[in-house]
Structure 1
Amino acid sequence: MSVTMLQSLFGQKAWANSELFDVLATVTAEADLHMAIRTLNHIYVVDRIFRAHLLGEAHGYDATNTKATPTLEELRAAVKETDAWFQGYVATLDDAALAQPVQFRFTDGDAGTMSREEILMHVITHGGYHRGNVGQILKNISVAPPRDLLTKYLHVAEPQRRAV
Structure 2
Amino acid sequence: MSSSDFMGTMLAYRAWANRELFAVLEALPEDVDATLRHTMVRVLNHVYVVDRIFQAHLQGVPHGYTALNTAATPELGRLSLDVGEIDEWYARYASAIDAPALAETLEFRFIDGAPGRMTRAEILFHVVNHGSYHRGAVGAMLTQVRGNPPKDVITNFLLAHARKAASL
TM-score between both structures, scaled by the size of structure 2: 0.92
Of 48, 55, 60, 2:52 maps to: 48
Matched, 1:94 2:95: no
Distance 1:143 1:24, change over 3 A: farther
RMSD: 1.6
- Residue 108 of structure 1 aligns to a residue whose secondary structure is coil
Structure-1 residue corresponding to 2:162: 158
Structure-1 residue corresponding to 2:61: 57
Structure-2 residue corresponding to 1:26: 27
Gaps in structure 2 of 5+ consecutive residues: none
Matched, 1:141 2:145: yes
Task: List 4+ stretches of structure 1 deviating above 3 A.
Answer: 160-163
Q: How many positions carry a matched residue from both structures?
A: 163
- Residue 70 of structure 1 aligns to a residue whose secondary structure is coil
Structure-2 residue corresponding to 1:6: 7
- Residue 113 of structure 1 aligns to a residue whose secondary structure is strand
Give the AA of the match of 1:48. Answer: R
Q: CA deviation at 1:162?
A: 8.5
- Residue 38 of structure 2 aligns to a residue whose secondary structure is helix
Give the AA of the match of 1:154. Answer: L
Structure-1 residue corresponding to 2:114: 110
Q: CA deviation at 1:2?
A: 1.1
8 Å CA contact 1:3–1:93 kept in 2: the answer is yes
Distance in structure 2 (CA, Å) of the matches to 1:55 and 1:17? 23
Distance in structure 1 (CA, Å) of the matches to 2:155 and 2:65? 34
Spell out, residue by residue over 1:5-43, the C-alpha distance to the aligned partner (whole angstroms, 9 max, x if none): 111111011111011001001223122111110000000
Spell out, residue by residue over 1:41-60, the C-alpha distance to the aligned partner (whole angstroms, 9 max, x if none): 00000000000000000001
8 Å CA contact 1:52–1:58 kept in 2: the answer is yes
Q: Which moved more, 1:28-37 or 1:8-17?
A: 28-37
Spell out, residue by residue over 1:99-140, the C-alpha distance to the aligned partner (whole angstroms, 9 max, x if none): 101110111111111000110110010000000000000012
